[in-house]
Amino acid sequence: MTYAAQDIVPISEARARLTELAEEVAAGAEKLLTKNGAAYVALIDARKLDYYHALEAEHAHLVLLDEAEAGLREVLAGQRVSPEQLLDALA
């Protein structure tokens, strides 16, 4: 994502403008706070953060489902290992 110049704020300046920045973020803006000229943290709306976390959880579930499906396909194809082979592979 690209940020407009007004959305990039040094953290030293953000301390003095926190209320103003929070109001802008609540209205839909995102602010990138910098430290020593480099990106450091971002201010985003709390609802958007919740949404990002939900997306992350959904992605994790989809990855697990893909892994389970791949395992089931291997079992159905007869590609199984005995418990002893599994323990040997894990050792």
Mean pLDDT over each residue of the chain, to the nearest integer: 91
Average pLDDT over residues 18-30: 95
| Digit-coded pLDDT (tens) for 29-76 | 999 999 999 999 999 999 999 999 999 999 999 999 999 998 889 888
CA neighbor of 45 nearest in space, from 28, 63, 32: 28
Residue 83: pLDDT over 90: no
pLDDT band for 79, please (50, 70, 90 cuts).
Answer: confident
| pTM tops 0.75 | no
Closest CA to 32 of 4, 64, 62, 54: 4
pLDDT score recorded for residue 17:
96
> Could you give the count of Cα atoms lying within 13 Å of 42 in the half-sphere of its Cβ?
11
